[in-house]
Amino acid sequence: MHILKSSNGMKFLDILTYPEIKIFPNAVTFIVGKSGCGKSTYLKLLNATILPSVGSIEYNGKNIQELDIIDFRKKVMLVPQEVFLFDETIEENFALYCRNREEEKPLPAQMENALDICCANFPLSTRCSVLSGGEKQRVFLAIFLSCLPEVLLLDEPTAALDINTAQTLLANIKCFCNERNITAIVVCHTDELVKAFADYTIQLGGKS
Amino acid sequence: MNGVIQLQLGQFSLVYILLLIAGLIMRKYHIDKIKLLIIANVRMTIQLVIAGWVLTYIFKNPHVIFILLYLILMIGFTIYRVLSQNKTINKNFKTVIALSISISGISVIVFFIHVVVGESMFNPQYVIPIAGMIMGNTMTGVSLGVKNFRESLDGQRPKINALLCIGAAPQRILLPFVKQALETAMLPTLNSMVGMGIVALPGMMTGQILSGTLPFTAILYQISIMVAICTVVISSCFGSLYFGYKTLYDSKTQIVNI
């Protein structure tokens, strides 16, 4: 049984048309395809931060338009490509994101664990302004992981990383998701990583 | 106390010598904006001469219609100026701004003239200058507040997007921007109150003193107009931004459109 399903012929602004796509639970699905074929847009549609002009998306058999959207986004969470961290310490960033979700901030051990998984084991008191671009991206990802969603949508999580770190990071995330029954959907350009970590692969916009 | 000395036209035109000096300095040192200096002064002169004629006419023939027209024109122009500096905001936001300016402007003007001064709303000698001061400050405040709000949202798209993706409600994301823009809009008014009477005597008080009013009366007028201005700036900005930001998202889809 699938956890997410988008209807056949779903469109975004008449620019992009998608086939029927089913996402299976507790697995890692990779979305691949040429740039401009609508991979990132698909993740945004799944997270309901944009709406399809035609067609619909079902979550556990229910049209997401009928659900409480904020609640839905907390469960089906998109980690966007563009990183944003507050100009504070790492710990404060966890706290501020949680406060915006109207939730308690995680325990220090949970934060450190999330940072470890994302290959970002900096002290919690580190100010985010001193981190490099790639380091910021990993801290950003760790914050999202610590929220423990049901579905995690990752938009090019390895874009700013060298291949070794990318492999460790994806292996850690896959392990983390398996342990907690989290479904992951990953947009990625690197064939090597897709081969190594995908349980399922979805090709968008024809073979490249 | 003596009444103010009437300026004779010949003597009055001598003031342009000062302008000539400013122009010469700008020209000699190749400072740009000489054109604007000339245009600004010509426009000011023409606009004020017209205002003078109109006011003379209205004071001689104080008719309700004239006063209403003058007020409508003033409020209309305030709204027009604020919106023309914030063209990119959506239609509903513009309506909210127009309503906030009109409602808070009119309420404060009526309260000031009718309750505080105790004059008839249709005495042009009071209504027109006081409405002018109130609407002028409203214009500056709301312009500043909305512009600041718009620009800070524009510069923070990644933040808004990240918070939205992680499941924060648009209301929660946008309210800090509203608060910050409100503070920015209030600052000039509050700062001018802090320095008042020490650095400079404000325009209204100066005018009244020149025309022979006792300083103590002039002070009471000045204090009350400052309080009125403070209130009108805060309430019109609050209305514009607090009700305006809700036009940026839709409560069903919870998507933010800036």
Residue B58 clears pLDDT 50, i.e. is over it: yes
Q: What is the mean pLDDT of residues A74-98?
A: 94
Q: Considering CB atoms only, which of B159, B165, B252 is closest to A73?
A: B165
Quick: pLDDT tens for A3-26: 888 888 888 888 888 888 888 899
- Does the distance separating the beta carbons of A101 and B168 come in below 8 Å? yes
Confidence check: pLDDT of B56 > 50: yes
Tokens of B21: 């000096």
Q: Provide the pLDDT for residue A208.
A: 43
User: Alpha-carbon distance A139 to A133, whole Å?
Assistant: 10
Least confident of A1-5, A72-76, A108-112, B106-110: A1-5
- What is the C-alpha to C-alpha distance for residues B225 and B209, in angstroms, rounded to an integer? 16
> Which tokens hold the place of A199?
């349980």
B66 min Cα distance to partner chain A (Å)? 52
Buried b (16+ CB within 10 A) or exposed e, B206-238: eebbeeebeeeebbebbeebbebbbbbbbbbbb
In a domain, A39, yes or no: yes
Task: For chain B, list the domains and their CATH numbers.
Answer: 1-61 (no CATH), 63-248 (1.20.1640)
In a domain, A208, yes or no: no
A99: closest chain B residue by CA? B168
- Could you tell me if residue A88 is inside a domain? yes
Q: Is the residue at A48 inside a domain?
A: yes
Nearest to A80 among B162, B168, B255 (CB): B162
| The predicted structure's pLDDT at residue B7 | 79
Q: How far is A92 from chain B (nearest CA, A)?
A: 15
CATH of the domain at A21: 3.40.50.300
- Which residues from A are below 8 Å from B163, CB to CB? 84, 97, 100
| pLDDT exceeds 80 at position A28 | yes
Q: Is residue A100 part of a domain?
A: yes
> How high is the pLDDT of residue A206?
61
Calpha distance A47→A78 (Å, rounded): 6
- The Cβ-side half-sphere exposure at B245, using a 13 Å CA radius, reads 26
Residue A205 clears pLDDT 60, i.e. is over it: yes
Look at residue B71 and tell me whether its pLDDT is greater than 90: yes
Q: What is the mean pLDDT of residues B181-198?
A: 89
Residue B1: is its pLDDT beyond 60?
no
Q: Which residue of B has its CA nearest to A147?
A: B166
Instruction: Please state, rounded to an integer, the average pLDDT across all residues of chain B.
Output: 91
Average pLDDT value for residue range A90-102: 93
Per the structure, the count of domains in chain A is 1
Determine whether the interchain pair B166/A47 forms a contact, defined as Cβ–Cβ distance below 8 Å.
no
pLDDT band at A196 (very low <50, low <70, confident <90, very high): confident
Which ipTM did the prediction report? 0.91
Nearest CA in chain A to B254: A69
Residue A106, domain extent = 4-203
What's the gap in Å between the CA of B244 and the closest CA on chain A? 21
Per-residue pLDDT, B143: 94
Nearest CB neighbour to B254, from listed A70, A79, A84: A70
Tokens, residue A65: 């338009």
Mean pLDDT of A58-77: 91
